[in-house]
Amino acid sequence: MTTCKATKYFLFVCCYVFWVASGVMISVGIYAKVAKENDVVDTLTTDPALLLLTVGSLTFFITFLGCFGALRDSVVLLKMFLGILMIILFLQIAAAVLGFLFSDLVLRRTELLMKKAIVLYREDMDLENVIDFVQKKFLCCGVNYYSDWSQNMYFNCSVINPSLEACGVPFSCCVRLQNETVFNTMCGYKTQGIEESLIKERIYIHGCLNKIVLWGKQNLLLVGGISISLLCLEICMISLAAVQLHQIQEKEKKKASKKTKKR
């Protein structure tokens, strides 16, 4: 009986932590959606707010099944929780294997997705913040090269482009000086028209894709460790749900056999 209760409450606590976290994700996603002035970007792959809402809602629903299934000893809820987690685990493993086997295809798809994000820069504040963060974090500019920013309507070098940012790059591409107290947000102004020998002093010219891939290779143990930890956590929750489900079914069998004997 003690083992049964320990399994029950441990599963509940695990699910509850993720349930609260998913609630926070949904709240942040809703706030980001409402705060936007123009909701132009509405695709899951290029809208961080929509991504937060989707992942948060899915996690909220799954952990809800786990929390109340564990707390109420509900066979139906636990079976749903167990089934969904097993499907997700299988999909994650399949995605990892396919990603490894078709790494070139994944890289090309990632490149296309990043170029699409560059085109939509300035159309979505959340996407803009994500791109700026990546460029500042990895000291890079564009996808493969800084000239990728010419694909954006605001930074295009066309003569008929009326934008003040024409033929430039975002401020996140700029080289930051040491002990710089006031940062010039127009530091990328007209940089696409400058000679490459001079431009290196003002902005980073190399793209972010290769730098992100390189960072992943250099931090393979960290990335692998986080991935394996998440998989282990999922397997742990699947095991706990399976154990509790088995215990509940055993209890029901014992009750049924006692009733039969009394008759």
Once rounded to an integer, what is the mean pLDDT over residues 209-222? 88
Predicted pLDDT at 43: 60
pTM of the model: 0.74
> Does 211 score more than 90 pLDDT?
yes
Residues of the chain with pLDDT > 70: what percent?
A: 91
Q: Hey, is 102 helix, strand or coil?
A: coil
Q: Hey, is 206 helix, strand or coil?
A: strand
Once rounded to an integer, what is the mean pLDDT over residues 63-82? 89
Once rounded to an integer, what is the mean pLDDT over residues 150-179? 87
The rounded distance, in Å, linking the Cα atoms of 216 and 226 is 12
H or E, element range at 256: helix 220-262
- C-alpha 136: how far from chain center: 19
Q: How confident is the model at residue 122 (pLDDT cuts 50, 70, 90)?
A: confident
Q: How confident is the model at residue 103 (pLDDT cuts 50, 70, 90)?
A: confident
Cβ(224)–Cβ(49) below 8 Å: no
> Does 140 score more than 90 pLDDT?
yes
Kindly report the average pLDDT of the chain as a whole number: 84
CATH domain 106-214 topology: Cd81 Antigen, Extracellular Domain; Chain: A (1.10.1450)
Predicted pLDDT at 253: 78
Q: Which residues pair with 74 in a beta bridge?
A: none
> Does 44 score more than 80 pLDDT?
no
Please enumerate in sequence order all residues whose Cβ is within 8 A of that of 172, keeping only pairs 6 or more positions apart, or say none: 131, 132, 133, 135, 136, 141
Once rounded to an integer, what is the mean pLDDT over residues 142-146? 92
Kindly list the domain boundaries of the chain, sorted by start residue. 2-105+227-251, 106-214
Cβ(53)–Cβ(26) below 8 Å: yes
Once rounded to an integer, what is the mean pLDDT over residues 224-238? 87
Once rounded to an integer, what is the mean pLDDT over residues 16-43? 76
The rounded distance, in Å, linking the Cα atoms of 25 and 99 is 27
Calculate Rg over the CA atoms of the chain.
25
Q: Hey, is 157 helix, strand or coil?
A: coil
Residues of the chain with pLDDT > 90: what percent?
A: 22
